[in-house]
Amino acid sequence: MSGVLHFAAPQRYERIVPPWIPNAHFVVAVSGVAEALGAIGLLLTRTRRAAGFGLIALLIAVFPANVHMLELSASDGSSSVWRAWLWVRLPLQAVLIWWVWRVAARPGLEAPAA
């Protein structure tokens, strides 16, 4: 779902791309496609492991955007509740990486032999 949101509401994602990364619009589009393809890849036995590695790389790559979003929240007058959530979200990336790895390492769900 999040991959689709990269296209439905790209401004939301472009805003949090750190300024040192060029062409935020392109980066958001590529990351949205990667996220959607990775999610589909996790569903398929043949592509599950590769999709997992790709999604883990993506989660690591977008970490600077999460940090930048936290930095922006301090300067744009966001609520303390929102800023607290953004702090919690940073270590949550590690949990998401673990979760993706667990799914990617899961054996296929092939039908039993007759």
Which of the pair, 67 or 105, is modelled with greater confidence?
67
Cα-based torsion angle of the residue sequence 26, 29, 33, 34 in order, rounded to the nearest 10 degrees: 60
Residue corresponding to tokens 């990667």: 34
- Model pLDDT, residue 26: 94
The pLDDT-based confidence of 112 (bands split at 50, 70, 90) is very low
- Model pLDDT, residue 37: 94
- Model pLDDT, residue 108: 60
Pinpoint the alpha helices (H) of the chain.
Answer: 2-8, 10-14, 24-43, 48-61, 63-75, 80-105
Residue pLDDT, tens place only, 30-52: 999 999 999 999 999 899 999 99
Distance of alpha carbon 39 from alpha carbon 41, whole angstroms: 5
What does 80-94 look like in DSSP terms, one character per residue? HHHHHHHHHHHHHHH
Residue pLDDT, tens place only, 54-101: 999 999 999 999 999 999 998 888 888 988 999 999 999 999 999 999
- Model pLDDT, residue 1: 73
